[in-house]
Amino acid sequence: MLADLPKTAVGKVFKPDLRRRAITRVYDAALAEAGLAARVAEVAEDKKRGLVARIATTGTVEDDALRAVLGQFPPAWERVG
């Protein structure tokens, strides 16, 4: 459950931040379930690809293992560490 919804200056829910939070939550859960030592460092906007999850590894993780887990989701991702 979200404790605090992101808001615009006029008080409306800021949907881009909700999307970033959702991507982070889903990707982190999938990575943890797969037992991979990786997490979402940030979700950034890319002009060509839209929202891109930047994945940081905290141990040895093969790119093929990341592809196997994250390839099932539509938002793009890239490894940053």
The closest of 73, 72, 37 to 56, measured between CA atoms, is: 37
Enter the tokens of residue 50.
Answer: 């839209």
Give the β-pairing of 76-79 and 50-57: parallel
Mean pLDDT value of segment 46-69: 94
pLDDT digits (tens, 9 = 90+) for 8-49: 788 888 888 899 999 999 999 999 999 999 999 999 999 999
State the pTM of this model.
Answer: 0.85
Number of domains within the chain: 1
* Residues 6+ away with beta carbon under 8 Å from 79: 54, 55, 56, 57, 63, 66
Partnered with residue 72 across adjacent β-strands are none
In a domain, 64, yes or no: yes
**Any domain includes 2:** no
Query: Is position 6 within any domain?
Result: no
d(CA 49, CA 33): 26
Domain contains 8: no
3 found inside a domain = no
Q: Containing domain of residue 30, as a range?
A: 15-79
